[in-house]
């Protein structure tokens, strides 16, 4: 806070303590659940249908001006769209659902990826960067290249 506002001498803990002393809260307890439910429903039927509860909490706060607790946003989202909320959940207990991919055929889409695990710290251990390209339809390896640098864009991906 001092680097952003050098004219203020208070630290963040001091500011937090003084706000609590005067009962100035970040969360507005006077917001009704119906008002929150309407805001979340509008977001779920629009561009916010893929948001998780944390992003939805931020969106409701920014666009609708509702400073409500995040767990209340989660409860309202669970009430309105439990399947969608479960499908967007993250964590160790969630089973990873593999997505589907379609392509028009062989040599239509290629997947290129690089690995610099051998380079380790400051490219000193084994200065080798491995790059490969797969055909996504047939899953065949099209090419595999090795370079001595992974930080020079003129070297990576050029023809030998």
Compare 34 and 50 and report the one with higher pLDDT: 34
pLDDT of residue 107: 85
Considering 87, 121, 151, which residue would you say is the last residue of a domain?
87
Least-confidence region, from 26-30, 43-47, 52-56, 110-114: 26-30
- Residues 73, 51 within the same domain: yes
Of 87, 112, 127, which marks where a domain is finished? 87
The string of pLDDT tens digits covering residues 15-33 is 888 888 888 777 777 888 9
Q: Are both 21 and 75 inside the same structural domain?
A: yes
- Report the alpha-carbon distance of residue 74 to residue 57 in Å, rounded: 8
**Token code pair at residue 128:** 């080798």
CB 85 within 8 A of CB 53: yes
Which of 87, 117, 144 represents a domain boundary (last residue)?
A: 87
Q: Give this prediction's pTM.
A: 0.50
Residue 4 lies in a domain: no
Alpha carbon dihedral 106, 111, 112, 115, in 10-degree steps, equals -130
Of the candidates 104, 89, 97, which has an alpha carbon nearest to the alpha carbon of residue 137? Answer: 104
How much is the pLDDT for 141? 92
CA atoms within 13 A on the CB side of 9: 0
pLDDT of residue 43: 92
Task: Examine residue 20 and state whether it is found in any structural domain, yes or no.
Answer: yes
Let me know whether 131 and 160 are in one domain.
yes
| Token reading at 113 | 């990826």
Are 47 and 110 contained in the same domain?
no
Classify residue 66: in a domain, yes or no: yes
Domain that holds residue 48: 12-87
The answer to the question of residue 64 being in a domain is yes
**pLDDT tops 80 at residue 96:** no
């Amino acid at each position: 806070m001092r680097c952003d506002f050098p004219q203020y001498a208070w630290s963040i803990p001091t500011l937090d303590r003084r706000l609590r002393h005067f009962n100035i809260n970040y969360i507005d307890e006077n917001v009704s659940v119906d008002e929150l439910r309407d805001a979340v429903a509008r977001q779920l039927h629009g561009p916010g249908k893929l948001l998780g509860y944390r992003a939805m909490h931020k969106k409701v706060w920014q666009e609708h001006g509702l400073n409500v607790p995040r767990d209340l946003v989660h409860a309202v989202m669970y009430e309105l769209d439990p399947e969608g909320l479960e499908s967007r959940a993250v964590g160790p207990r969630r089973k990873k659902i593999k997505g589907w991919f379609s392509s028009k055929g062989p040599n239509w889409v290629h997947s290129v990826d690089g690995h610099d695990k051998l380079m380790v710290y400051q490219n000193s251990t084994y200065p080798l960067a491995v790059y490969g390209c797969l055909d996504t339809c047939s899953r065949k390896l099209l090419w595999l290249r090795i370079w001595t640098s992974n930080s020079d864009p003129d070297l990576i991906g050029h023809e030998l």
